Structure 1
Amino acid sequence: MSSPFKPAARLPAVLVVDDEVRSQEALRRTLDEEFEVFTASSAEDAQKIMERETLQVLLCDQRMPGESGVSFLKRVRSQWPDVVRIIISGYTDSEDIIAGINDAGIYQYLLKPWQPDSLLMAIRNAAELYRLQAENQRLSLELRTSSPVLRKRVEMKYERVKREFGLDGLTRAPDSPLGPICDLIAQVAPFDLSVLISGESGTGKEMLARAIHYQSRRADKAFVVENCGALPDELLEAELFGYKRGAFTGAYEDRIGLFQHADGGTLFLDEIGETSPAFQVKLLRVLQEGEFRPLGSPRPMTVDVRVIAATNRDLETEVREGRFREDLYYRLAIVPIHVPPLRERPMDIPLLVERLLAVSQGALGKSCEGFTPEALACLAAYRWPGNVRELQNAILRMLALSTGPKLGAHLLSPKVLQSGTDGHDDTDLAAVGFAGTLQERVDALEARVLKETLIRLRWNKTRAANELGLSRVGLRAKLVRYGLDGDKSGGAE
């Protein structure tokens, strides 16, 4: 019999270089569901791996025996310039890293102790950057060498990108709270107004920012992203404003900052609420005057950049309590947009799981026929404190662990499984006590106990039958009677 799955496509490859085995393993556990992870304990070992493997991202610790991370990444840049380079270290190494960040071509600097979600997002962005760089190189070559007919096809690809990242790419139901937000975006996007997007982590604030960019007159220019909460002030200033040769020890050549990279386009500043008051003053000047001064430069530079900021904090409260500058807040929040959490838009979940499953199948190179009814019920009932990001991770997990044609409830984590009985079921115990004949109430209660037990035991029918004192035949008959036998790909019999 032929396999129901496609041959697995190779995942993006990441090389982790760290001399501490425990740190290596922690990084591998965080990344290995979405990436092919290689590990090395030294620059010498990493060099050997890079000579035989095709890598997209290199994640390197700064402090290693023999050779520092920055020194190794400088060599990597000359031999493998397309590999996206990320360095990870503590605040104490920031001066050395700033000095070498240009020569090494470092894409991002991550601080210890790192958070799994932040690290995973950084590696995802780096892998996407690698893919986009390769795609841009290919499209540029096609545009230079192709016939007019082929050139038209390349331009059509660009239009498809605009549709994917514009308002049409935002998944929402007709009655979703995102509907009015999308209407507002359509109104304000054509105008160069600063937008402040607030909402919990994982709600899709960056996607909304991209939609604004691709609905604006700047859509054919750069969309540049910086996480302000990931860097100390001195590194953030160097990243955004750049520096001149000789600005500090190790600054051997000029470095262009992200404001210059975004000139004519859009700069998205995520986690703006994490910045210090001192840095807020410098950012305010850029927004007010449209100019900034690179480190070590005697003259300011002028740029034309639209700034979109995002935060998961209540900035109005931060202003009242003196932790965020009031003048900067009003400069950023000309158009404030609040993204509701996923628990406040349950009508979007069925559409989201369908789209995220398609994305996950592409990422893992593995296909399936969809979800069982029980799995969909649990996904819809859970409150998703991590919002869309948590939902995406749950679907990736289900697909990776699946062995059948459909994704069953048994593939979900215990906390999501338990959500199926958290008061969203038609057989809620409160309802059982107030309606129907005695037999109807007893039947409803029995159905509820059966479903709670199956969910808790991950749909293992043998264990459920033993716990409830039923034979397997008796349990199966009750499941058929109450319509609970739909999870054909579920747990063990």
Structure 2
Amino acid sequence: MTPTLPTVLIVDDEIRSQEALRRTLDEDFEVFTASSAADALAILEREFIQIVLSDQRMPGTSGVQLLREVRERWPDAVRIIISGYTDSEDIIAGINDGGIYQYLLKPWQPEQLLLTLRGAAEMHRLQRENQRLSLDLKVASPVLRQRVAGKKEASRRRFGADALLRAPDSPMNALCALVAKVADFDIPVLLTGESGTGKELLARALHYGSGRSEQAFVVENCGAVPDTLLESELFGARRGAFTGAHEDREGLFRQADNGSILLDEIGETSAAFQVKLLRVLQEGEVRPVGAARPVAVDVRVIAATNRDLEADVREGRFREDLYYRLAAITIAVPPLRDRRMDIPLIAQQYVDSAQQSLGRTFDPLGADVLACLQAYRWPGNVRELRNEVLRMIALSDGPRLAAAHLSPRVLRAAEDHQEPELQLLAGLDGDLKTRLEALEARIVKESLIRHRWNKTRAAAELGLSRVGLRSKLARYGLETG
């Protein structure tokens, strides 16, 4: 990326003088011009100006008056005055009170002008570096270092991959191991899976397991914000850029500078927005709405979607180049129905959390409740499971959470999710003795067929003697001679 030139604002009501100054400075500086103090303040509102070079004698507001206001509102800007009058009381006062860095006497010489402004640019750089070093020294103190390290470790325990609840045989184990492995590599990650599967939790694990964990982690649901507002929400906006923009908006990318941002439901964005996001990822800079210049940002982007983005790329609904920018690594999060072994742990965690927030005590979830929860398919995934637990808590009269308080759809699933043998018995006619005999006959016949009617092997499998097997064959009419 081309190095950024120092910025200088020339304020002079004489156009020819403006142009002479611009021509002298144009190669070494990014030059802005204004013909009045009001125009200068407007430019300072929307641009990052490092040096203000102002003529003293202008209609209305003098150069010294302007630079005093600049000092109040933009104290980091280096202020220089140009005048043809060395004995001006205003100029002397401006220098004495520290508001003006230097003044140039007319007629100025190009070499002297360049030398002065290069010194001003270096002074601005040193001021910013000194501010940064002062902050670093504060953070480097032993007490603060210990505090920061403790906070970082607490965040890792709370949000890291190891904090995600899962059973020893859960498919989430391999997924969490992958998250822990790639967290410290500063590459974009795409999380895919149904809504409510815990993609945001994994995104937090990626952030808090990385070197950016001490910086901000911000989240934006791209599907919940109208496309017209999404750009200003993420990239920022200048005051007055559109109706309702009454003040500068920093934007989430700048809030997440040196940290991470989760762009949830990225598949819902428009083609126009995808072009702008691609530029941000390519250039490492955002352009606030209404701003003339972009602003550099250093952000790790994590994207999430419940759509099949590869299919959307093939069908032209999502840009292919943006997809590959976002999906350096793709992590597919399984739905809750594919990890039923995790349901008891997650459900019990919701109960424990409710105990703390409500100040009530509940018994551990019983086997009947867990059986019902594990039989259901959970189309709403973890969010739906949480709602069912809260429903039982709200309807309970005491510490015991009863299966009867689950939603009818969950109870119906439990009734339908019977063991195959029980389903078979339920479909047979007659009393219990008759049904059991019919089931036994089926089991004996299946064993004989499996062993090609070898009675010795079938009897051994069924735990019967040959005489016992012959008796059952005769009883159920299965003897073939």
> Which position in structure 1 is the counterpart of 2:252?
258
Q: Which moved more, 1:377-386 or 1:399-408?
A: 399-408
- The CA distance in 2 between the partners of 1:172 and 1:364, in whole Å, is 25
Q: Distance in 1 between matches of 2:242 and 2:335?
A: 44
Question: Which blocks of at least 5 consecutive residues in structure 2 are unaligned?
Answer: 1-137, 440-481
Q: Which residue of 1 aligns with 2:180?
A: 186
Determine the C-alpha separation between the residues in 1 that align with 2:326 and 2:398: 50
Determine what percentage of the aligned residue pairs are the same residue: 63
**Counterpart residue number, 1:416:** 410
Aligned partner letter, 1:259: F
Aligned residue for 2:295?
Answer: 301
Check if 1:406 corresponds to 2:400.
yes
Largest Rg, 1 or 2: 2
Alignment partner, residue 362 of structure 2: 368
Deviations 1:196-239 (A, max 9, x none): 10100100000000001111111111000000001111211110
1:217 aligned partner: 211
Considering Cα pairs closer than 8 Å and 6+ residues apart, tell me whether 1 or 2 has the greater RCO: 1
Q: Deviations over 1:270-300 (max 9, x none)?
A: 0001000000000011111111110111101
Q: Secondary structure at the match of 1:247?
A: coil
Contact 1:196/1:309 (<8 A) preserved: yes
Match of residue 225 from structure 2: 231
The 10-residue stretch of structure 1 (187-196 or 363-372) with the greater mean CA deviation from structure 2: 363-372
**How far apart in 1 are the matches of 2:438 and 2:393?**
33
Q: Is the 8 A contact 2:237 2:288 kept in 1?
A: yes
- Confirm or deny that 1:321 pairs with 2:315: yes
Question: What one-letter code is carried by the residue in structure 2 that aligns with 1:174?
Answer: P
Per-residue deviation at 1:438? 6.1
Question: What is the aligned counterpart of 2:270 among 268, 273, 276?
Answer: 276
Q: Aligned match of 2:239 in 245, 250, 266?
A: 245
Partner of 1:92: none
List aligned pairs for 1:59-458, cutoff 5 A: 156-425=150-419, 428-430=422-424, 439=433, 441=435
Partner of 1:490 in structure 2? none
Q: Distance in 2 between matches of 1:289 and 1:439?
A: 77
Give the conservation status (yes or no) of the 8 Å contact 2:263–2:302. Answer: yes
Q: Compute the displacement of 1:148 (Å).
A: 7.9
**Contact kept in structure 1, 2:207 and 2:217, CA below 8 Å:** yes
Q: 1:150 to 1:318 in 2, by over 3 A?
A: closer
Cα deviation 1:68-117 (Å, max 9, x = unaligned):
xxxxxxxxxxxxxxxxxxxxxxxxxxxxxxxxxxxxxxxxxxxxxxxxxx
Gaps in structure 1 of 5+ consecutive residues:
1-143, 446-493
Moved more, 417-426 or 178-187: 417-426
Shift of residue 444, structure 1, vs aligned partner: 12
Checking the alignment, whether the CA contact within 8 Å between 1:360 and 1:395 is kept in structure 2 is no
Q: 1:168, CA displacement in angstroms? A: 1.7
1:443-482 matches, within 5 Å, as none
Q: Give 2:364's aligned amino acid.
A: G
What's the TM-score, normalizing by structure 2? 0.58
Aligned to 1:226, the other structure's residue is in SS state: strand
- More divergent stretch after superposition (302-311 vs 241-250): 241-250
Distance in 1 separating the partners of 2:418 and 2:167: 20
Which secondary structure state, in structure 1, belongs to the residue aligned with residue 389 of structure 2?
Answer: helix
- Secondary structure at 1:230 match in 2: coil
Judging changes above 3 Å, is the alpha-carbon distance between structure 1 residues 444 and 389 closer, same or farther for their aligned structure 2 residues? farther
Q: How far off is 1:362 after superposition?
A: 2.6
Distance in 1 (CA, whole Å) between partners of 2:261 and 2:344 is 32
- For 1:251 and 1:344, how far apart are their aligned partners in 2? 47
CA contact (8 A) 1:269 1:307 kept: yes
